[in-house]
Amino acid sequence: MPKAVLFDMDGVLYDSMPFHARAWKEIANRYHLISSLEDFYLLEGRTGESTINLLFQRTFQRDATEQEKQTIYQEKADLFNQYNSGTVMQGALDVLNAVKASHLQTLIVTGSGQHSLFDKVKHDFPGYFEREKMVTAYDVTHGKPHPEPYLMGLEKAGVEAHEAIVVENAPLGVQAAVAAGIFTIAVNTGPLPDQLLLDAGASLLFHDMATLASQWQSIVNQ
Q: Toward Mg ion, which CB reaches closer, 25 or 144?
A: 144
Report whether 208 contacts 91 (CB < 8 A).
yes
- Residue range at the interface with Mg ion (CB under 5 A); choices 50-58, 74-82, 93-101, 166-174: 166-174
**Of 4, 7, 11, 209, which lies in the binding site for Mg ion, with binding defined by CB under 5 A?**
11
Task: Based on the shown chain and the rule CB under 5 A, indicate whether residue 15 belongs to the binding site for Mg ion.
Answer: no
- Residue range at the interface with Mg ion (CB under 5 A); choices 19-27, 64-72, 130-138, 165-173: 165-173
Report whether 120 contacts 107 (CB < 8 A).
no
- Residue range at the interface with Mg ion (CB under 5 A); choices 11-19, 133-141, 174-182, 189-197: 11-19
Closest C-alpha among 17, 29, 14, 40 to residue 75: 29
Distances (CA, A) of 198 to 5, 204, 205: 19, 8, 8
The CB-of-57 to Mg ion minimum distance in angstroms stands at 23
Question: Could you give the CA distance from residue 214 to residue 176 in angstroms, rounded to a whole number?
Answer: 26
**Of 7, 8, 69, 147, which lies in the binding site for Mg ion, with binding defined by CB under 5 A?**
8
The CB-of-147 to Mg ion minimum distance in angstroms stands at 16
Task: Based on the shown chain and the rule CB under 5 A, indicate whether residue 148 belongs to the binding site for Mg ion.
Answer: no
Please state the separation of Cα 6 from the chain's center in Å: 10
Question: Could you give the CA distance from residue 201 to residue 178 in angstroms, rounded to a whole number?
Answer: 6
Number of residues that bind Mg ion (CB under 5 A): 5
The CB-of-61 to Mg ion minimum distance in angstroms stands at 29
Report whether 200 contacts 169 (CB < 8 A).
no
Residues 169-208 that bind Mg ion (CB under 5 A): 169-170
Give residues with Cβ within 8 angstroms of 11, minimum separation 6.
Answer: 17, 44, 89, 169, 170, 187, 189, 190
Q: Toward Mg ion, which CB reaches closer, 8 or 15?
A: 8
Residue ranges binding Mg ion (CB under 5 A):
8, 10-11, 169-170
